[in-house]
Amino acid sequence: MPPKQRITREMILERSFEMFCREGMEAVNARSVAKALNCSTQPIFSYFSGMDDLKSSLEMKAKETFEEALELAEWYDDAFVAWIQGEYQVRVGAF
């Protein structure tokens, strides 16, 4: 008999976050998360005190993900502006 898959807190959070992103917070419940992980609801409640705890963790993860995306976008924006300005200066200097 193959060993049981160990469900981790991070696995629960990642799968729940995927569901949240695709279907909204309404789709995230103990049974749907357990079904997506192919397990019972027991691992969910062993890592989270309840669905409010899981949803609070999801909101924190969403906020962190959004902030990381903003930082990355700002970096790319700054790099693009610097490249454009450098390109423009090269052209102006050539004339």
pLDDT tens for residues 51-74?
A: 999 999 999 999 999 999 888 888
- Does an H or E element contain 82, and which? helix 51-94
Mean predicted lDDT score pLDDT of the chain: 86
SS3 at position 94:
helix
pLDDT at 93 over 60: no
Query: Collapsing DSSP states into helix, strand and coil, what is residue 17?
Result: helix
Distance between CA atoms of residues 21 and 18, nearest Å: 5
pTM recorded for the entire structure: 0.72
Angle at which helix 30-37 crosses helix 9-23, to 10 degrees, equals: 110
Band of residue 92 on the pLDDT scale cut at 50, 70, 90: very low
Residue with tokens 């903003």: 70
